[in-house]
Amino acid sequence: MRIVVADCSVDYAGRLSAHLPRAKRVLMLKSDGSVLVHSDGGSYKPLNWMSPPCALTTLELEDEQHDAGIVEAWQVVHAKTGDKLIVSLFEIMSDSSHELGVDPGLIKDGVEAHLQELLADQIELVGDGHQLVRREYMTAIGPVDILARDAAGASVAIEIKRRGGIDGVEQLTRYLELMNRDPALAPVQGVFAAQEIKPQARTLAEDRGIRCLVLDYDAMRGMEDHNTLF
Amino acid sequence: MRIVVADCSVDYAGRLSAHLPRAKRVLMLKSDGSVLVHSDGGSYKPLNWMSPPCALTTLELEDEQHDAGIVEAWQVVHAKTGDKLIVSLFEIMSDSSHELGVDPGLIKDGVEAHLQELLADQIELVGDGHQLVRREYMTAIGPVDILARDAAGASVAIEIKRRGGIDGVEQLTRYLELMNRDPALAPVQGVFAAQEIKPQARTLAEDRGIRCLVLDYDAMRGMEDHNTLF
DNA sequence: TACTTAATCTCGCTC
DNA sequence: GAGCGAGGTTAAGTA
């Protein structure tokens, strides 16, 4: 990993064209050839970058570049797409390299799969007397998150999202359309469950007779812990 | 901007929980308080991070942390959500600060908006005798990319995507459903235009009577240049 | 390997 | 400020 702090301008030509006017920035050159151009603010996204696999070469300076005050120029080319990033350096404030080694990587938990697990275990949240049939119930066009039966024994197809948007409603609608053609399942009631349901999605869902269910992740997790403890 | 290269472990607790085992990494501390944890590889996305607005404080070390070899510990807390990032430093290889100033920002062109512009200018690509009514034609549920009329004067609603998937077809279907209720427009023919149309999307579109149109961006741009030149 | 879906998405625009 | 769509999306999981 090489880190350069420099007054520079950057040009990108690939799926789009982009230009960064001259300013002081941090240039991160990773050992896989990738380059990140960061400013002192914004989010984790660099102003500009080149993803691996790619290769960096130092360009020969032409007279007019030299006259313009450029002291060094890099060309970073993507190995597959040919996308090109050109960094023109006017002044280098700092240039250092560090051997980091391979990173052991991130360990994370607490995502959408967990919501499905929790709701399967607490299926009564969908309605009194509901019973789980199975998770990831396969259909011809993909798996429905949860298939259940209500107190009367009627089928209930549940689509779970962390944030419920229109896409999720469309997805559930396609499943319902298909499942309602199966005499063994029909009629199938739809339930759209999410931690947060967007107004447009709720409107669309209710217009189609799909029930909306807002999930309280913390409460469900707390319930789970409680169940585990006793 | 402060850049620290250190042997460290990182813990994040917020919308999810995540942990980074001890390893050498680059820590970028931006002046807005945000922190990025980068390894020597991967993409532009950091292994872990905290977005602004947030604040960094140096924690008092407890005896057991000291015994474990930790020489410094930071706590970065998000100002609104309360998300927390804790960095435990075991050894600091490098620690430097640089004044960068405010970045002038990225200038970009050549995205989807451009495709819409090009197709509006070259509306005859949709079919002989077609005429542009307007771009971004507003409906109650959002703007249709292009509204045109065919040679016979019938309405044509065009949805443009760079990559055409099922989502885009669903979107256009919703527009068509709404527009066909308007006597001044009905009947409205749908055209799904994209640089690349996925097979599933094409099947769904054609099943619904929506015409598919594959756009050749380079040819359209070339045509545009040609028009400008002569 | 190709495709589908989620993301601590981010970013920009509109209402 | 909230909502919605696009992204050089990126990244992870699955068929």
Quick: pLDDT tens for B39-89: 998 889 999 999 999 999 999 999 989 999 999 999 999 988 888 999 999
Please tell me which residue, A224 or A74, carries the higher pLDDT value: A74
pLDDT above 80 for B108: no
Task: Specify the pLDDT at position B96.
Answer: 97
Q: How far apart are CA B46 and CA B32, in angstroms?
A: 17
Distance (Å) from the C-alpha of residue B199 to the closest C-alpha of chain A? 14
Q: Where in chain A is the domain with CATH 3.40.1350.10?
A: 112-229
Out of A200-204, A219-223, B179-183, least confident range: A219-223
Q: Which residue is nearest to nucleotide C15 (CA to C1')?
A: B142
Q: Write out chain A residues lying below 8 Å of B39, CB-based.
A: 100, 103
Q: Provide the pLDDT confidence category of residue B151 given band limits of 50, 70 and 90.
A: very high
Whole-number distance in Å between B115 CA and C13 C1': 18
Task: Give me the percent of chain A exceeding a pLDDT of 90.
Answer: 50
CATH topology of domain A2-97: Protein Yojf; Chain: A; (2.70.180)
Q: Which of B212, B207, B164, B209 is nearest to B188 (CA)?
A: B209
User: What does pLDDT average to over chain A?
Assistant: 87
**pLDDT value of position B137:** 83
pLDDT given for residue A115 in this prediction: 78
Given a cut of 80, is residue A164 above it in pLDDT?
A: no
Q: Quick one: pLDDT at residue A14?
A: 83
Average pLDDT over residues A126-144: 85
Binned at pLDDT 50, 70 and 90, residue B112 comes out as low
Element (H, E) at A11: strand A2-13
For the ranges A56-65, A210-219, B104-113, the one whose mean pLDDT is highest = A56-65
Q: Which of the four pLDDT bands, split at 50, 70 and 90, describes residue B194?
A: confident
pLDDT band at A204 (very low <50, low <70, confident <90, very high): confident
Residues in A touching B102 (Cβ below 8 Å): 40-41
What per-residue confidence (pLDDT) applies to A230? 38
pLDDT greater than 90 at residue B128: yes
Q: Which of residues 108-127 of B touch strand D (CB under 7 A)?
A: 108, 111-112
User: Contact B133/B189 with Cβ under 8 angstroms?
Assistant: no
Which positions in chain A touch B5 (Cβ < 8 Å)?
1, 3, 98, 100
Instruction: Find the angle CA(A78)-CA(A79)-CA(A81) to the nearest 5 degrees.
Output: 65
Provide the CA B165 to C1' D1 distance, Å, integer. Answer: 31
Output b/e per residue, B102-134; b: 16+ Cβ within 10 A.
Answer: ebeebeeeeeeebbbebbbebbebbeeebebbe
CATH of domain B112-229: 3.40.1350.10
Nucleotides of C under 7 A from a protein CB: 3-12, 15
C-alpha angle B207/B160/A208, rounded to 5°?
50
Comma-separated ranges of CATH 2.70.180.20 domains in chain A: 2-97
State whether the beta carbon of A108 lies below 7 angstroms from any atom of strand C. Answer: yes
Half-sphere CA count of B208, side-chain side, radius 13 A:
23
For residues B144-163, average pLDDT: 90
The rounded mean pLDDT for chain B is 87
Query: Among B100, B141, B170, whose Cβ lies nearest the Cβ of A24?
Result: B100
The answer to whether A201 and A166 are in contact (CB under 8 A) is yes
pLDDT surpassing 60 at residue B228 = no
d(CA A111, CA A227) in angstroms, rounded, equals 20
Contact in structure between A215 and A115 (CB atoms under 8 Å): yes
Q: Give A199's pLDDT tier (boundaries 50, 70, 90).
A: confident
pLDDT at A143 over 50: yes
A226 or A46: which leads in pLDDT: A46
pLDDT at A207: 86
What is the reported pLDDT for A112? 62
Compare all CA atoms of chain B with the CA of A98 and give the residue at the minimum distance.
B5
Q: What is the pLDDT of residue A121?
A: 87
pLDDT given for residue B111 in this prediction = 60
| CB nearest A44 (choices: B26, B46, B110) | B46
Q: What is the pLDDT of residue B229?
A: 39
